[in-house]
Homo-oligomer: A and B are copies of this chain.
Amino acid sequence: MNYTFADRVRSLQSSAVRDILKVVNQEGVISFAGGLPDDQLFPLEGIADSFAKVFASGKHGLQYTETEGYLPLREILLDRMEKKGINNYTTKELMLTTGSQQVIDLFARVMLNPGDVILTEDPTYLAALQVFHSYEATVIGVTTDEDGMIMEDLEEKIRVYQPKCIYVVPTFSNPSGKVWSYERREKLVSLAHEHNFIVLEDDPYGELQFNREETYTPIAALDNGTSVLYTSTFSKTAVPALRTGWVVGPFEIIDMMSQAKQANDLHSNSLSQQALYHFCTSYDLDGHIETLISEYESRMNLMYDLLKKADLPGLKLTKPKGGMFFWLELHEKLNTTELLPKAVARGVAYVPGEPFFASQPKTNTLRLNFSHATTTQIEHGIAILTTLFKEALEEAEVTV
């Protein structure tokens, strides 16, 4: 039978993330592709104890609850937000969701008409691009450098497109691993106030900061409570399977997103929200994050050293200050989408850079995750990849 789908699904038909997850699950493939934390570091015992506490408190916790989520967990998160300088809000303005992915989706759902313009970093989180396209928004990429969006390009695109919204991942960005400078964060907020657009600040990786002495002020902390929504998740600091994220921001927008969420799924898994409340109060979450940081930093350093040592002609590579990802720009003659099947055939997966771009894809880029693979896998996998890239350079007649 031929089914006629809604126009909005056209953009969904090909999904890079979906293909990635399939590769990740193949036996024997070393995957630098997914954005996965390391299973072995999951605080299983703390999570199990937290669930036991919920069950011990009786049956009522298994009932339906309100759309915004379990209030005591929202109180704890509000407190954590305030410590980051985001202090314009109350629990009425903080909602729990099914991961921060749902925040991106609900935000787009309530904000974007077909044809409305949203600006993103170029490159940016590819599943956010998918969401914006699925609401038939016009997505325009803003050029970035080491310090975030280039402000001249941003101002030009604000002038030309009069965007309704801007989506950014300013701290240890996915995919680029970069950190916005304080000045650009401030400038973005002042542009938002001047030109009346709403910023969605997506910060899933902010806690995974390798150098604890620096301070990266959230963009939402520089706002006056009118123009920036901040979202994060427990997926990278606790565990992904609980699918618990949150969003904090201006009441009118949160309230509208909550109404959209009610239509979407009534409420998220509230048993997990209650367990995470116990996890936050009875378990040393910050100590656990320190463990993650130290482990991920050493894997990052290993991968960095191996990539440097391979001495690939034309390679551009920055050492990430946190998060989970390396962003590589190879010699301009290499095409990472074309090279992927060869890499997978040799037993290594990565994500080609192309789908991360809103506007002008650089086909010689790729993203490598360093948080999921073991050190042995990193050594083995990077050797395979750099050999493959060298061979491709030779084929392209670049002197290696």
| Residues on A facing B (Cβ under 8 Å) | 1, 3-9, 12-13, 15, 17-18, 21, 25, 34, 36-37, 39-40, 42, 44, 47-48, 51-52, 55, 58-67, 97-99, 101-102, 105, 109-113, 116, 127, 130-131, 134-135, 164, 198, 226-227, 235, 239-243, 250, 252-253, 256, 259-260, 262-272
Contact = CB atoms under 8 A, between A and B. Distances in A.
A127 B264 CA distance: 9
Given A42-B59, A241-B64, A9 B266 contact: no
B263 A130 contact: yes
Contacts of A66: 21, 25
A240 B15 CA distance: 31
A65 B18 CA distance: 11
B243 A270 contact: yes
Contacts of A134: 260, 263
B63 A44 contact: no
A101 B36 contact: no
Contact of A9 (B164, B239, B260): B260
25 contacts: A1-B227, A1-B252, A3-B256, A4-B164, A5-B110, A6-B111, A15-B259, A17-B262, A18-B259, A25-B66, A61-B241, A63-B240, A101-B265, A102-B264, A105-B264, A131-B263, A239-B271, A241-B271, A242-B269, A243-B267, A243-B268, A243-B270, A264-B264, A268-B269, A269-B269
Contact of A112 (B6, B67, B110): B6
Given A6-B111, A39-B59, 11 more contacts: A1-B227, A37-B63, A48-B51, A48-B55, A65-B241, A98-B98, A98-B265, A105-B265, A127-B263, A241-B269, A241-B270
Contacts of A64: 21, 34, 36, 235, 240-241
A60 B41 CA distance: 10
A74 B29 CA distance: 26
